[in-house]
Amino acid sequence: AQDKVRLLLDWFVNPDHAALVIAKQRGLFTKHGLDVELIAPADPNAPPKLVAAGQADYAVSYQPTLQMLVAEGLPLVRVGVLVAQPLNSLVVLEDGPVKTIADFKGRKIGYSIAGFEEAILGAMLEKAGLTLKDVTLININFALTKALMSKQVDGVIGAFRNFELNDLALHKAQGRLWPVEANGVPTYDELVLVAKRETVDAARTKKLLAAIAEATTWLLANPDEAWRLFSTSGKELDNELNKLAWKDTLPLLATDPTALDRDRYQVFADFLLKRRLIKQAPPLDSYLRPIR
Amino acid sequence: MTSLVVAPPLLVCRAHIAYGDRRVARDLSLEFPAGRTTCLLGRSGVGKTSLLRWLAGLLPGATQAQPIAFMAQSDLLLPWLSVLDNVLLGYRLRGDAAALRSAEGRARALLDDVGLAGRSGDRPDQLSGGMRQRAALARTLCEDRPVVLMDEPFAHLDAVTRFDLQDLAARLLADRTVVMVTHDPLEALRLGHHIRVLSGPPLAAGEPIEPSGPLPRDPADAALLGLHARLLAELRGQPT
Amino acid sequence: MTSLVVAPPLLVCRAHIAYGDRRVARDLSLEFPAGRTTCLLGRSGVGKTSLLRWLAGLLPGATQAQPIAFMAQSDLLLPWLSVLDNVLLGYRLRGDAAALRSAEGRARALLDDVGLAGRSGDRPDQLSGGMRQRAALARTLCEDRPVVLMDEPFAHLDAVTRFDLQDLAARLLADRTVVMVTHDPLEALRLGHHIRVLSGPPLAAGEPIEPSGPLPRDPADAALLGLHARLLAELRGQPT
Amino acid sequence: MRPLVTAVGLLLGWEGLVWLTGAPPYILPPPSRVLTVLIERLDLLLAEALWTAAEMLIGLLLGLALGAALAVAFAASAGWRRWALPLVVASQAIPVIAIAPLLVLWLGYGMASKVAMAALVIFFPVVSTLYDGLRRTDQGWLDLARTMDANPRAILLQIRLPAALPALASGARIAAAVAPIGAVIGEWVGASAGLGYLMTLSLARGQTPLAFAALVVLCLLGLALYHATDRAARRLVPWQSQGE
Amino acid sequence: MRPLVTAVGLLLGWEGLVWLTGAPPYILPPPSRVLTVLIERLDLLLAEALWTAAEMLIGLLLGLALGAALAVAFAASAGWRRWALPLVVASQAIPVIAIAPLLVLWLGYGMASKVAMAALVIFFPVVSTLYDGLRRTDQGWLDLARTMDANPRAILLQIRLPAALPALASGARIAAAVAPIGAVIGEWVGASAGLGYLMTLSLARGQTPLAFAALVVLCLLGLALYHATDRAARRLVPWQSQGE
Ligand SMILES: Nc1ncnc2c1ncn2[C@@H]1O[C@H](COP(=O)(O)OP(=O)(O)OP(=O)(O)O)[C@@H](O)[C@H]1O
Ligand SMILES: Nc1ncnc2c1ncn2[C@@H]1O[C@H](COP(=O)(O)OP(=O)(O)OP(=O)(O)O)[C@@H](O)[C@H]1O
Ligand SMILES: [Mg+2]
Ligand SMILES: [Mg+2]
């Protein structure tokens, strides 16, 4: 009998989920004895909580989110990784007035996730000799390209490097991008898989990660066929933006979903502490579960 | 169509009636004898309707001791019910299916009596003012209660219809305790065992006038004409 | 309080009145002479109100040729206005501030005439039924129009008040074209230059009855008593 | 004929708005583009609309039933009024983001939680107007019923409720108008179908014309439901003449 | 005294709900925890509440004014009815996600766009109920006014409008109850203050008790506004007795 697994995505299906979608489409989960159901929510904050509440077995989430939730006492553990580097970046229009981060002095920057993105931005500005007080922060609620192109803001934080530049390009605009990890923010895992601490099943997780690894290998080897498979797997996936993002996303996917860099979590926890996004850093072992 | 219950008398004992600061009655005591029809006359605004509502237990401090049928000054027909259903309203509200079934025949007969036989399926807003009043009268009579209170029940009826319906009421309400407010002294003389002229404020009832003879009386009777003048004088505030 | 306009006659010419399938009047032609009061009698439901609404231009096909004052069968007081403001409603609606100011004195005088002097600030729901009717009467008289249409204007008044207000109406409505529906033949004899008994369906008007003598007439007049009997017979459907 | 004229008029107004405000197409696409997308992707849009329409309808029916039941309970019992009325009012202040995980916890990821969310938006106008209507009953009728020895239940069901039907009709009209947004909010709880889902998805993908095509279909659904409800509401109170 | 009893009762009910459903604290925190946070962070909550309350109030006033004006326009003119009524109904189907960038484009990121969004949610119950009320005027009154040579304007303002005030009161009550969510939705347009903002923020950081404390404050604001409106509405129609 197939082992039923319920996996919550962080958001609507997009190329970031390439490995999961391909694993399902090519029957790799089934091959490993798993019957995986992928569910897409509209609120990226809900999936880890629902996993903690036992409403699903795994959720796709973000390292910073995971660390903040764990600091608040949610019984979550990281069991794997899908994208082992930050995607987040600061973006401006190429022909705009901002050429370097220092040019932001006195300008407007849009953000979407209060607290966390403010902290990242603060670190980046400080590296360039500015502080948050030198800019005006504006909540643009995920309408990144729209805010940029309509000149409501001069720059946006929270832009994914594999998406927003392509989105701008589709609207015949060019973007300039500063990756966060190169500008004062410690590096981190953008997309991780989390499970509930008490009930996480090592054997099953192993199978899940194995299927994902297999899918990743295959799709890196067969990018065009993989795109066809991905774009026909659900509604509205076959569009220009996804097609462009697909190419940019594949190199970012973690080839080894079991990989774990403990230092990276320690450093980032310190960063969160310093930026006062968490009050205390829980011991790493309480929320990192290596699956070998 | 005789009610099984013996009609009781109605007593008002040291009643106070007031709307906010406006005192209508103060320490009013009055008796309406059992099984008789009492007609109330009185100047507009003196408190006839208030007294009737007191008797019906609808005013603060008042209680309704026995089953009554109450016909208010306005017709109070429900616009979403047919005329027939309006006549049967009491039975519908009391929810006794058997009683409702057995009352339907009487309701139809009453509608016939008041001249609305062909209109039983109409909605009230398709009726003329007088027709609405007749429907309300039929509803009141259909209730078949030992005590009946009526507030200007024939005000919107032409002289001929009024005459006929007075006869009908006198026949159907015999032996019940009836209190009827009217503005027509001749109507009071035709229908009332007792007639009382109200004055006020504060509300007070004149001595009962008791014309002789069985109901309904003949208005052309010479004795009644004398009483008519007396009633008018009393109404005018000059008791003879 | 004389209107400057000379009162016109009212003509009904080949009128059709129907509510859906129910034909009330068919090819009805009728004239109400200028500057005179015509009283309409008729059995309940015959179409008196409909005819009055036709004259007021409120029914499909009818038009309102001249300024009128209309008093409907129900009082139609606006619950959010004081009694005084209700009496002045026409002036408020026409929005002529000067006319409104100059009418207020007359409105107060009229309220005094109908016995509501102390109630001009009350809301209508604080009045008794008869008081409401008197307020509506005051509103109609306050309009000061050459043509006045009234539907059972005294139905809820006691005999004495009615008598007084009949006098008031006769005085204030002299020389206007008045059509008044009433159920009281004596009232018609007291107030009407002409009296017409309506019959139907289809609606038809009997020959005009024209009692002699100036208005308001004395109801005790022997000549009137004879006409009274005639009216009743005509109402009953047995024209003498 | 007339709806067509209206539609053309609205489209012209929209085009004018785009032209006047100079809103760029990725924020407010011109109707011509939206129409093209609407026609090209009609099959997709209709398929999604079916979901949303189902959620709207079930939500509306549920909301009507729940709203009517609550209003009657409030009118009947001081206890309900005291304890549940503040809850009902407070329920309108709860954003979907706070309640979505709870709904999923209790009702799962299926249609139930979406419909529950939609009903939560839809039921309130019904409770509120009907309860208002129930406490405005003509005192004369209530007095009459009392003299007829009617119990409070009979008075409520046979006098107050029919007398409050115009108020209920008023509430039902509002409920019908907010049903689309109720359904879209419901889809936020976690959906993989529906016009709201399609809209969020295409907005995130920069496919603004498709999002607006979905919005047009949603508005049409809303208008259709509103007019159907309006008709039903008029039929509910035939004794009351209502102008156009 | 009574509100206190109610509050305690509701808290007990909430605690019972947590206990019964076994909802974990990061999805539905127990009231005791929320109360603690509420007291600890009262200054923060009150500061945010001030923003939201301001948005609610301005939104409500704007919504009432706009709603009343539109309802009167619909009642007065067939043209408005034909062209603007479908627009108004359709406006209720537009999710904030579609309209937020437009509002920002036109009104900027300041308070104006938030208040506009809130008013868009709030005005509809007012239009709908008032317009319903305006077309239900007693025919007798209309006839009387016609015989008095009143022009349509005077009839509308002096007869139909006062007669429709109970309906307006009904709509205002709904508007007051949805004002909090209107304000929160407004904050979604892009805010850096307000209870809705605080709620999103704390939910993202896993501080569910703080989010629910904000929700409690929001509900209290909503209840206060509702009761104030209810009182004002009763005063609006003194000639109409209303039960409790
Ligand atoms: N709105 C309506 N819809 C349908 N039929 C109506 C309507 N109004 C009146 N009728 C009918 O038209 C006829 C005439 O009614 P009308 O009110 O004119 O009578 P009336 O002579 O004034 O009677 P009453 O003395 O009882 O007031 C009646 O048969 C009545 O049922
Ligand atoms: N709801 C009320 N609020 C305030 N005052 C009222 C109310 N109802 C009646 N009144 C007053 O009480 C007095 C008596 O009214 P009531 O209706 O009993 O008179 P009535 O004798 O029936 O008069 P009518 O013959 O005109 O019907 C009047 O002065 C009236 O204004
Ligand atoms: Mg009375
Ligand atoms: Mg009539």
Question: What are the structural domain ranges in chain C?
Answer: 1-67+146-240, 77-144
Residue with more model confidence, B110 or A12: B110
Average pLDDT, chain A: 92
- Candidates A43, A141, A194: best to mutate against E (most CBs of E within 10 A) is A141
- Taking only the tens place, the pLDDT of each residue in C176-200 is 999 999 999 999 999 999 999 998 7
Whole-number pLDDT of residue B3: 46
Mean pLDDT value across residues E34-57: 94
Q: How far is CA D187 from CA B137, D103, E98, in A?
A: 58, 12, 15
Question: According to the model, what pLDDT value does residue E34 have?
Answer: 92
Q: What is the pLDDT of residue D9?
A: 80
Say how many Å lie between the CA of residue C28 and the centre of ligand 3: 37
Whether residue E118 lies inside any domain: the answer is yes
pLDDT beyond 50 at B1: no
Ranking C168-172, D142-146, E38-42, E77-81 by mean pLDDT, the lowest is: E77-81
Work out which ligand 2 atom sits closest to the CA atom of C131: 26
Chain B contacts to C (CB-CB under 8 A): 19, 22, 41-45, 49, 73-74, 115, 126-131, 134, 152, 155-162, 183-185, 232, 235-236
Among B74, B158, B236, the residue with its CB nearest the CB of C183 is B158
Q: What percentage of chain D exceeds 90 in pLDDT?
A: 57
Predicted confidence (pLDDT) per residue in B140-188, tens digit: 999 999 999 999 999 999 999 999 999 999 999 999 999 999 999 999 9
Task: Give Dmax (Cα) for chain B.
Answer: 54
Ligand nearest to C-alpha C51: 1
pLDDT at B62 over 60: yes
Which chain B residues are Cβ-neighbours of C22 within 8 angstroms?
Answer: 126
| Residue E1 pLDDT > 70 | no
Task: For residue D182, tell me if it sits in a domain.
Answer: yes
What's the whole-number mean pLDDT along residues B111-137? 94
Nearest atom of ligand 2 to the alpha carbon of B50: 18
Q: Residue C116 and residue C83: Cα distance in Å, rounded?
A: 9
Give the minimum alpha-carbon distance from D46 to chain A in angstroms, rounded to a whole number: 13
Handedness of CA C1, C5, C6, C8 (dihedral sign): negative
Nearest ligand 2 atom to alpha carbon B49: 22
How much is the pLDDT for E21? Answer: 81
Question: In the prediction, which pLDDT does D81 show?
Answer: 87
Q: Which of the four CATH numbers 1.10.645.10, 1.20.1050.10, 3.40.50.300, 3.50.50.60 does domain C1-67+146-240 have?
A: 3.40.50.300
pLDDT of residue D243: 46
Kindly determine whether residue C80 and residue E150, on different chains, have CB atoms separated by under 8 Å. no
What pLDDT was estimated at residue C43? 93
How many residues are recorded in chain C?
Answer: 240
How confident is the model over A145-161, as a mean pLDDT?
90
Cα separation, D172 vs D178, whole angstroms? 10
E8 in a structural domain: no
CB contact under 8 A, B80 and D141: no
Look up the domain containing D94 and give its range.
30-235
**D28-to-A172, C71, D203, E100, E103 alpha-carbon distances in Å:** 17, 58, 11, 11, 11
**Residue A190: how many CA atoms within 13 Å on its side-chain side?**
21
Ligand 1 contact via C200 beta carbon (within 6 Å):
no
- Domain assignment present for E218: yes
Instruction: Report the pLDDT averaged over residues C62-90.
Output: 92
* Interface residue ranges in chain D relative to chain A, Cβ cutoff 8 Å: 24, 26-27, 44, 48, 97, 100-101, 104-105, 108-109, 187-193, 197-198, 200-207, 210
Using alpha carbons, list the distances in angstroms from residue A246 to A218, A220, A226, D192, E88: 15, 11, 10, 21, 41
E15 within some domain: no
Taking alpha carbons only, the member of A7, A22, A12 closest to residue A232 is: A22
Neighbours of B67 (CB within 10 A): 17
Distance CA E112, CA E91 (A): 18
Question: Which residue type sits at C211?
Answer: P
Q: Do D143 and B53 touch (CB under 8 A)?
A: yes
**Would the CB atoms of C80 and E239 count as touching at under 8 Å?**
yes
Assess if residue D1 is contained within a domain: no
Give kind and range of the element (H or E) at residue C228.
Answer: helix C222-235
Give the count of domains, chain E. Answer: 1
Give me the pLDDT at residue B153, please.
95
Average pLDDT, chain B: 90
Which residue's alpha carbon is at the smallest distance from atom 31 of ligand 1? B127
Residue A284: CA count within 13 A, CB half-sphere:
12
pLDDT at C239: 53
Q: Distance (Å) from the C-alpha of residue A32 to the closest C-alpha of chain E? A: 32
Average the pLDDT over each of A23-27, A65-69, A114-118, B26-30 and give the range with the smallest value: A114-118
Give D192's contacts in chain A (Cβ within 8 Å): 39-40, 234-235
- In this predicted structure, what is the pLDDT of residue D62? 96
Is D160 inside any structural domain? yes
Ligand 2 binding site (Cβ under 6 Å of any ligand atom)? B 19, 22, 24, 42, 44-50, 73; C 125-131, 156
- Report yes or no on E51 lying in a domain: yes
Would you place residue D1 in the very low, low, confident or very high pLDDT band (cuts 50, 70, 90)? low
Quick check: E136 and D174 CB within 8 A? Answer: no
The residue contributing the CA closest to ligand 2 atom 7 is C126
We report the CATH number of the domain holding residue E161 as 1.10.3720.10
State whether ipTM is beyond 0.95.
no
Instruction: Say whether pLDDT at B53 is over 50.
Output: yes
Nearest CA to ligand 2 atom 18: B47
Q: Which chains touch A (3 or more CB pairs under 8 A)?
A: D, E
Q: Is the CB of B130 under 6 A from ligand 1?
A: yes
C101 vs D24, residue with greater confidence: C101
CB-CB under 8 Å, A40 with D105: no
Tell me how many degrees the CA angle C76-C81-C85 measures, rounded to the nearest 5.
90
From ligand 1's centre to the CA of C54, what distance in Å? Answer: 12
User: Is the pLDDT assigned to residue E241 strictly greater than 60?
Assistant: no
Residue B4 banded pLDDT, cuts 50, 70, 90: low
CB spacing of A72 vs E207 below 8 angstroms = yes
